[in-house]
A = this chain, B = another copy of it.
Amino acid sequence: MNPALLPRLRAPFRLLRNYPPPTTRPSPPPRHAFSTGSGSLLAGHTSSITSQAIGYEKHGDPCEEGTLDVLEYELPRLQKGQVRLRFEMSALNPADINVIQGVYPTKPTAQTINGRTFTVMGNEGTAIVEGFEEDGKVEHEFHVGDRVVMAKAQMGTWQTHLNAFPSELIRLPPSSHNTTSTSLTASQAATLCINPPTAFRMLSDNLSINHNSSSNRPQWVIQNGANSAVGESVIQLARIWGIKTVNLVRVRSTEQETASLKKDLKSLGADVVLTYDEFLRKGGPEEVKVLVGKDEGAELKLALNCVGGDEIKGMLKVLDRGAKLVTYGGMAKKGLTLPPSMFIFKDLIAKGFWLSNWVKQQNDNGQARLEMMHQLVSFIEAGQFVTPKVEIVSLGPKSGLSIEEAKSRVREVMKRQMEGRTKKVLFDFE
């Protein structure tokens, strides 16, 4: 059923009837942790809907019982111009751990839910527009069935439903074969909003990305944590833009695993992949300079850092004068030790990147961001860019989990995430 074919009602609140088609379900449905059925159960002209959410009352260790809770609450009535969303897939980002712990610099807004001061977690996710409350504008901006990603940080994506204003949303562009929605999968859409844009900006704002460049001076980038979600985006966007990459990764527990990781990154377009040991051994940085062809005029003016340990010194050794070291993570939980001489004589600029900051600094009504998202979508649709491998953690009715079982599964995922033993995790509330 194509939502574009639905009649556009003139009613003040538009709710898509039976979208998605109602699942055949015993009545009354069994009590599951999450239910996405409310859309169909509550179809019609109504402003009452229930969302099931994961969040916390007090900061704490996300792996411990009692920190994260799952609850059901009645969403407030849609305000004029608001859109009602049904989440398809919501991401777990490493930063979410820090938010739950209470050590992240921005905090989601707590709400009074069922008499408790509760914070719904989740920064990233993709949702379908289920309806909106007309205000003369929103009905021209959105169609029921549109797929959106979040434009605002910390909106609370770890839940089944949410009311949001258009300015808080980015409507994904329609694909050529579906006029109202992109052809991305929910997994692709749900991982589109933080990591690929981080890679996109770090490359395009620090290098001269000239698609028509006929320059004979190859541009190189060096990065650590190259198999992170951002790292993989860097490799692919660099390849699209004709930039070459030196990629540093941790050695794996077996030689086969290390070889397989290297192969994976090379299949994404990585030009050079080295373990930290290979890179940091005596003569390693000099070998990289040869590989890069610095003597033949190649430029290495950008280093991307999400780790911050000892390999930084090696990375600095291979950089050109006037290079930039851009830090977007600190996985080693150590300070960066940077020699003063690099700043004074080699004109190094060390700075950071945080997508939230970049978004705030835009004063063009999100136009630059929208263009970037559309470019990313077009790269995906053209088969030039793949989103990270994900592990889908099913919490919805299909999983058959009770609330306690759902909470336990979330804690287990948190633990593996903190130990670095997961791919990118997506929560599926369907």
Residues of A within 8 A of B (CB): 105, 305, 308, 327-330, 335-354, 357
Contacts and interface: CB of A to CB of B under 8 A. Distances in A.
Contact of A330 (B330, B335, B344, B346): B344
11 contacts: A105-B345, A330-B344, A337-B337, A338-B338, A342-B352, A346-B352, A347-B352, A348-B351, A349-B349, A349-B350, A349-B351
Nearest to A308: B340
Query: So how many copies of this chain end up in the complex?
Result: 2
A350 B330 contact: no
A352 B357 contact: no
Contact of A339 (B330, B341, B357): B330
Nearest to A306: B340
A306 to B, nearest CB: 9
A328 to B, nearest CB: 6
Contacts of A329: 340, 344
Contacts of A348: 351-352
Nearest to A345: B105
Given A349-B351, A351-B348, A354-B345, A335 B340 contact: yes
Contacts of A347: 351-352, 354, 357
A85 B341 CA distance: 33
A352 to B, nearest CB: 3
Contacts of A328: 344
Nearest to A327: B343
Contacts of A327: 340, 343-344
Nearest to A348: B352
Q: Which of A337, A340, A347 has the most CB of B within 10 A?
A: A340
Given A335-B337, A337-B337, A338-B335, A350 B343 contact: yes
Contacts of A339: 330, 335-336
B344 A354 contact: yes
Contacts of A351: 343, 347-350
A354 B340 CA distance: 11
Contacts of A349: 349-351
A360 to B, nearest CB: 10
B336 A352 contact: no
A312 to B, nearest CB: 10
Nearest to A336: B338
A349 B330 CA distance: 16
Nearest to A95: B344
Contacts of A354: 344-345, 347
A154 to B, nearest CB: 14
A342 B105 CA distance: 11
A330 B340 contact: yes
A229 to B, nearest CB: 16
Nearest to A353: B344
Nearest to A104: B345
Given A345-B354, A348-B351, 18 more contacts: A105-B341, A305-B340, A327-B340, A327-B343, A330-B339, A330-B344, A335-B339, A336-B337, A336-B338, A336-B339, A340-B352, A342-B352, A343-B351, A344-B353, A349-B349, A349-B351, A350-B350, A350-B351
